[in-house]
């Protein structure tokens, strides 16, 4: 058995997980509530909270996995992309623990890990992992891209956003409506009681497989500004319909590009990854598309959609098998390597 401790600290969640080969033994996350009142992540507060959380989170991950730290084969950590101060906490901790235990360290790209989360197995896994090559729509707070995944290490990005990410669009739309951060889960919740056809917003017209969300954001902003002039309670009175309509506009943009990518590549194995893949309507839309377009769709469990360390550990496992270890001089990076 290869035991990997995965550590994720790229943004505002401090997470640790242990895998035995491709099986998850534990998956622990400490969410940082401190950012809620600020309408976004405050980097300095995030680093401080990581400092406080990292030891208890790792201890709990080892305890829940029921293994001792001496049994670990290697420690995998997120090297980037993310907030520098946050990444430094995880990286420094990984290096010191590995030095003490005399085991190797493995650097992991956060986006690669979101995609490889599809290879995690737990007691309830029933569907086999996607077969290479498959398409992955990665939708997170900072990234929106479509990748042809040819192997655990061979990724070709064939479409990406030219401005905002899908998660950012959810978060910004929520902020315009005065809803708390992160906006994605809040919009998802209110949208359940709303009519997705109640309001129409402008759709981008970007050729090829790239995405754009800034036009949609501006159209939401101007529409609400005009409506609030007529009725100051417009948002409160129409909250569910607004959330459902905004969510539906974002999902339409995503689905249209995935359809185009599948047609262009001929690939019908379709996966989604990243925080926005937790969205209930995106998940339902993909399940429906499975029949409509004859796709084989892969949707991660909710706990492996949003940021987690199990995805870091499984990526570490693949790299361990490949003898791909990091140097102790590794420092964080801000941009993804895939």
Q: Does 182 bind ligand KG4 (CB under 6 A)?
A: yes
Question: Which of 26, 35, 100, 95 lies closest to 57 in space, CA to CA?
Answer: 26
Q: Does 19 bind Zn ion (CB under 5 A)?
A: no
Please identify which residue in the block is written with the tokens 């956003």: 161
Out of 16, 32, 307, 325, the residue judged to bind Zn ion by CB under 5 A: 307
Nearest distance from residue 84's CB to ligand KG4, in Å? 15
The Cα 317–Cα 18 span in angstroms is 10
Q: Does 164 bind Zn ion (CB under 5 A)?
A: no
Residue 104: asked if its preceding bond is cis (omega within 30°), the reply is: no
Please identify which residue in the block is written with the tokens 């061979």: 154
Of 16-24, 89-97, 132-140, 186-194, the segment contacting Zn ion by CB under 5 A is: 132-140
Which residues within the stretch 22-81 sit at the binding site for ligand KG4 (CB under 6 A)?
A: none
Token pair, residue 272, equals 């989604």
The Cα 296–Cα 175 span in angstroms is 35
Residue closer to ligand KG4, measured from CB, 104 or 183: 183
Out of 8, 107, 171, 241, the residue judged to bind ligand KG4 by CB under 6 A: 171
Q: Does 279 bind Zn ion (CB under 5 A)?
A: no
Of 85-93, 181-189, 207-215, 299-307, the segment contacting Zn ion by CB under 5 A is: 299-307
Q: Does 8 bind ligand KG4 (CB under 6 A)?
A: no
Residue closer to ligand KG4, measured from CB, 83 or 94: 83
Residue closer to Zn ion, measured from CB, 168 or 307: 307
Q: Does 140 bind Zn ion (CB under 5 A)?
A: yes
Residue closer to ligand KG4, measured from CB, 72 or 117: 117
Size of interface with ligand KG4, in residues (CB under 6 A): 19
Q: Does 11 bind ligand KG4 (CB under 6 A)?
A: yes
Residue closer to Zn ion, measured from CB, 73 or 315: 315
Cα distances (Å, whole numbers) of residue 224 to 39, 148, 181, 236, 251: 19, 38, 19, 11, 20
The Cα 76–Cα 257 span in angstroms is 33
Q: Does 185 bind ligand KG4 (CB under 6 A)?
A: yes
Contacts of 205 (CB under 8 A, 6+ apart): none
Nearest distance from residue 179's CB to Zn ion, in Å? 21
Three-state DSSP state, 137: strand
Out of 275, 300, 316, 332, the residue judged to bind ligand KG4 by CB under 6 A: 275
Contacts of 59 (CB under 8 A, 6+ apart): none
The Cα 271–Cα 134 span in angstroms is 7
Nearest distance from residue 140's CB to Zn ion, in Å? 4
Query: Bridge-partner residues for 31, per DSSP?
Result: 13
| Cβ proximity of 294 and 76 under 8 Å | no
Question: Which of 25, 29, 28, 57 lies closest to 121 in space, CA to CA?
Answer: 25
Q: Give the one entry of ligand KG4, Zn ion, none that residue 80 binds, where binding means its C-beta sits below a cut-off of 5 to 8 angstroms depending on kind.
A: none
Nearest distance from residue 223's CB to Zn ion, in Å? 30
Residue closer to ligand KG4, measured from CB, 38 or 328: 38
Token pair, residue 78, equals 């997120």
Which residues within the stretch 278-317 sit at the binding site for ligand KG4 (CB under 6 A)?
A: 278-279, 306-307
Contacts by 97-100 with C-beta closer than 8 Å and gap 24+?
A: 97/5, 97/58, 97/69, 98/74, 99/328
Residues forming the site for Zn ion (CB under 5 A): 140, 307
Residues forming the site for ligand KG4 (CB under 6 A): 11, 140-142, 167, 170-171, 182-185, 188, 274-276, 278-279, 306-307
């Amino acid at each position: 058995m290869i035991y990997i401790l995965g550590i994720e600290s790229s943004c505002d969640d401090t997470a640790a997980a242990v895998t035995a080969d491709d099986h998850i033994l534990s998956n622990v996350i400490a969410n940082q509530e401190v950012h809620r009142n600020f309408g976004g992540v405050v980097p300095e507060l995030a680093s401080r909270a990581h400092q406080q959380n990292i030891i208890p989170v790792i201890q709990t991950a080892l305890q829940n996995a029921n293994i001792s730290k001496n049994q670990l084969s290697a420690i995998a950590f997120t090297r980037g992309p993310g907030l520098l101060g946050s990444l430094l906490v995880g990286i420094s901790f990984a290096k010191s623990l590995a030095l003490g235990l005399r085991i190797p360290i493995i650097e992991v790209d956060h986006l690669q890990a979101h995609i490889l989360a599809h290879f995690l197995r737990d007691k309830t896994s029933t569907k086999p992992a996607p077969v290479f090559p498959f398409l992955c729509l990665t939708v997170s707070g900072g990234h929106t891209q479509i990748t042809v995944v040819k192997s655990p290490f061979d990724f070709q990005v064939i479409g990406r956003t030219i401005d905002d990410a899908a998660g950012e669009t959810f978060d910004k739309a929520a902020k315009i409506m005065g809803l708390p951060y992160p906006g994605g889960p809040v919009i998802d919740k209110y949208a359940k009681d709303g009519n997705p056809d109640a309001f129409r917003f402008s759709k981008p017209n970007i050729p090829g497989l790239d995405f754009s969300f800034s036009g949609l954001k501006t159209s939401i902003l101007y529409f609400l500004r005009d409506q609030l002039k007529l009725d100051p309670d417009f948002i409160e009175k129409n909250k569910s319909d607004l959330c459902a309509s905004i969510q539906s506009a974002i999902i339409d943009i995503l689905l249209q590009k995935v359809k185009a990518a599948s047609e262009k590549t001929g690939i019908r194995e379709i996966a989604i990854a990243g925080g926005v893949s937790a969205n209930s309507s995106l998940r339902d839309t993909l399940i429906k598309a499975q029949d409509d377009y004859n796709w084989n769709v892969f949707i991660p469990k909710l706990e492996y959609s949003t940021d987690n360390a199990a995805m870091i550990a499984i990526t570490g496992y693949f790299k361990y098998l490949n003898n791909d270890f990091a140097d102790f001089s590794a420092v964080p990076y801000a941009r993804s390597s895939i």
